[in-house]
């Protein structure tokens, strides 16, 4: 295939500023998500994800301003997620230049929201993000950034999300997230083998070899990571070079 | 100056942002008279091809589009509108280019929508690809594609099957990918379009 595997830096944003510590050379303002996004696009990132954790009533306005700034200055696609609960939220983000929106808890609480979004904007616009944790031999969906366990089995939920019109799944393994010990290749392969829509893997990236392993073992479509990119522990040009040397199709 | 056909189907913010970054001037086309103000045209589009065609028809701009003799660029669903038919909603489209828009076949063991950066191979003489490396990746996101046809396909991509990444008939061009989201290669393509004689 000639379709490139995608490398996707993820930026956590609060009140229009990046939250997680960023230690990145050549940044004039490490707290400015647009500046960071621009640097990533220059380095060869294929796509960006912004997760907004703003809780104030000014939320929608700050989010729309952010999306417009990103769309104005960045020439690669991006997804925006966090607190999108109604069609009107999605509509204004689309018209401000967002390529996709990501929904997580809102979809679990109201699965029909996936159908509504897909009908209104097309399934390519709808990413369903899922936080999963392995408990007593099974994988369960967790909500609110992983704080709340549900009784929903992850693989069932992925199937339902796909059937309802999700255009892509972003799967974060909470067991691997933050460990820097590699992606959850077992689960990711199992999910990817039966999935008819693209899968973005998240959680566990610690070094460049983890990405090679991920793509070789699971064949997922994209890999997302945050801190290893923000702290300059992995440089995207180096990562893509290594992937290419390992016969993984990438955009260089 | 580029005239953007304004018919309510799609996110034109990203397109105008890309044109702004490139310093290319543009304006919006709302009425048939507006076509006279510009020397080239873009038809954008996202979403459902059938709904997009209905919206375009409601503007009353279709007859003027059919008569255009200056360069026209359809992007994504805007490209599909140039064909005669889409399997999406079994819709009749403008028919400017005698091709069909079809749904990707999941039996080819491919994921649908086709999402991401895919290699595009321009055929010799394709002026839209001047200055773009052979096999450069462009950003695609679509479930329907335009069949490969040696008369009209001027660049192809492969996803399970070979399909049209770029088509042309006379002054009408269409690109299936999103040049406004395709990094430097996409920006170069827009620049090339702006300089077509």
Contacts 24+ apart (CB under 8 A), A16-24: A16/A54, A16/A62, A16/A65, A16/A66, A19/A53, A20/A226, A20/A227, A20/A230, A21/A227, A21/A230, A21/A231, A22/A230, A22/A231, A23/A230, A23/A231, A23/A232, A24/A230, A24/A231, A24/A232
Say yes or no for a CB contact (<8 Å) between B116 and A46. Answer: yes
- Tell me the C-alpha to C-alpha distance, in Å, between residue B43 and each of A122, B52, B62: 19, 11, 11
Domain ranges in chain A? 6-245
Q: Is A221 on the interface with B (CB under 8 A)?
A: yes
Which chain B residues are closer than 8 Å to A41 by Cβ? 183
**CA end-to-end span of chain B, whole Å?**
12
Q: Residue A18's CB: how many other CB atoms inside 10 A? A: 24
Which residue's entry shows tokens 């009749």? B92
Dihedral angle at the C-alpha atoms of B4, B10, B16, B21, nearest 10 degrees?
-140
Is the ipTM, as predicted for this complex, more than 0.85? yes
Residues in B whose CB is inside 8 Å of some CB of A read 11, 13-14, 17-18, 20-21, 46-48, 106, 111-119, 137, 139, 141-143, 157-159, 178, 180-184, 186-187
- Catalytic residue, chosen from A46, A52, A99, A131, is A131
CA–CA gap between residue A16 and residue A54 (Å, rounded): 8
- Answer yes or no: are the C-beta atoms of A123 and A163 closer than 8 Å: no
pLDDT value of residue B164:
98
**B contacts of A221 (beta carbons < 8 Å):** 111, 115-116
pLDDT tens by residue, B10-58: 679 999 999 999 999 999 999 999 999 999 999 998 888 999 999 999 9
Interface test with B, best of A44, A69, A75 (most B CBs within 10 A): A75
**DSSP single-letter state for residue A85:** -
User: Helix A208-218 vs helix A236-245: angle between axes, to the nearest 10 degrees?
Assistant: 40
Is residue A129 less than 8 Å (CB to CB) from chain B? Answer: no
* Closest residue, chain A, to B136 (C-alpha): A251
The answer to whether the CB atoms of B13 and A73 lie below 8 A apart is: no
Alpha-carbon distance of A156 to A195, in angstroms, equals: 12
Which residues are CB-neighbours of A109 under 8 A, at least 6 positions away? none
Q: How far is CA A226 from CA A50, A105, A168, B17, in A?
A: 10, 21, 19, 27
Range scoring the smallest mean pLDDT among A64-68, A144-148, B95-99, B142-146? A144-148
Is the domain spanning A6-245 CATH 3.40.50.10860? The answer is no
pLDDT at A21: 63
Residue tagged active-site, from B30, B76, B88, B147: B76
Q: Sorting pLDDT into bands at 50, 70 and 90, what band is B140?
A: very high
Q: Which helix (H) or strand (E) holds B35?
A: none
Average pLDDT, chain B: 96
Among the listed residues B88, B114, B142, B180, the single catalytic one is B180
Domains of chain B, earliest start first? 2-194 (3.40.50.880)
Q: Print pLDDT tens along chain A (252 aa).
A: 689 999 999 999 988 888 866 666 666 677 889 999 999 999 999 999 999 988 777 788 889 999 999 999 999 999 999 889 999 999 999 999 999 999 999 999 999 999 999 999 889 999 999 999 999 999 999 998 788 999 999 999 999 999 999 999 999 999 999 899 999 999 999 999 999 999 999 999 999 999 999 999 999 999 999 989 988 899 999 999 999 999 999 999
Picking from A41, A95, A251, the nearest residue to B11 by CB comes out as A95
Question: Are B119 and A72 inside 8 Å of each other by CB?
Answer: no
> B16 CB contacts (<8 Å, ≥6 apart)?
B4, B26
Query: Which pLDDT does position B197 carry in this prediction?
Result: 83
Q: Does the annotation count A12 as an active-site position?
A: yes
Rounded Cα distance, A37 and B89, in Å: 38
A32 is catalytic: no
Distance from CA of A109 to the nearest CA of B (A): 25
């Amino acid at each position: 295939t000639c379709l490139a595997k995608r490398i996707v830096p993820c930026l956590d944003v609060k009140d229009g500023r990046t939250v997680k510590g960023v230690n990145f050379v050549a940044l004039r303002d490490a707290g400015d998500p647009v500046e960071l996004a621009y640097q990533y696009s220059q380095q060869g990132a294929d796509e960006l994800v912004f997760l907004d954790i703003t809780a104030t009533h000014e939320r929608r306005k700050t989010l729309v301003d952010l999306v417009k700034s990103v769309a104005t200055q960045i020439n690669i696609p991006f997804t925006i997620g966090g607190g999108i609960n109604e069609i009107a939220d999605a509509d204004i983000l689309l018209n401000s230049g967002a390529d996709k929106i990501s929904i997580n808890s809102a979809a679990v609480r109201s699965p029909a929201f996936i159908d509504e979004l897909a009908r209104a904007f097309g399934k390519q616009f709808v990413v369903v993000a899922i936080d999963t944790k392995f408990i007593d031999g099974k994988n369960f969906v967790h909500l609110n950034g992983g704080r709340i366990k549900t009784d929903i089995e992850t693989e069932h939920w992925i199937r339902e999300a796909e059937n309802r019109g999700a255009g892509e799944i972003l799967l974060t393994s909470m067991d691997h997230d933050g460990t820097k010990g590699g992606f959850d290749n077992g689960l990711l392969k199992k999910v990817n083998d039966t999935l008819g829509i693209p899968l973005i893997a998240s959680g566990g990236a610690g070094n460049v070899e983890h990405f090679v392993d991920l793509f070789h073992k699971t064949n997922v479509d994209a890999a997302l990571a945050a801190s290893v990119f923000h702290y300059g522990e992995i440089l995207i040009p180096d990562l893509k070079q290594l992937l290419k040397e390992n016969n993984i199709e990438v955009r260089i | 100056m580029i005239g953007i056909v304004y018919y309510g189907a799609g996110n034109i913010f990203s397109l105008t942002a890309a044109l702004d970054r490139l310093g290319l001037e543009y304006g919006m086309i709302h009425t048939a008279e507006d076509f006279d103000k510009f020397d080239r045209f873009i038809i954008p589009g996202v979403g459902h091809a059938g709904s997009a065609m209905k919206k375009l028809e409601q503007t009353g701009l279709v007859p003027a589009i059919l008569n255009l003799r200056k360069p026209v660029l359809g992007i994504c669903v805007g490209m599909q509108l140039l064909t005669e038919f889409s399997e999406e909603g079994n819709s009749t489209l403008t028919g400017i280019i005698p091709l069909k828009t079809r749904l990707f076949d999941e039996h080819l063991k491919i994921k649908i929508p086709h999402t991401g950066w895919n290699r595009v191979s321009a055929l010799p003489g394709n002026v839209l690809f001047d200055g773009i490396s052979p096999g450069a990746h462009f950003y695609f996101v679509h479930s329907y594609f335009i069949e490969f046809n040696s008369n009209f396909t001027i660049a192809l991509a492969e996803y399970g099957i070979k399909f049209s990444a770029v088509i042309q008939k006379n002054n009408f061009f269409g690109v299936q990918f999103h040049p406004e989201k395709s990094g430097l290669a996409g920006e170069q393509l827009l620049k090339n379009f702006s300089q077509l004689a």
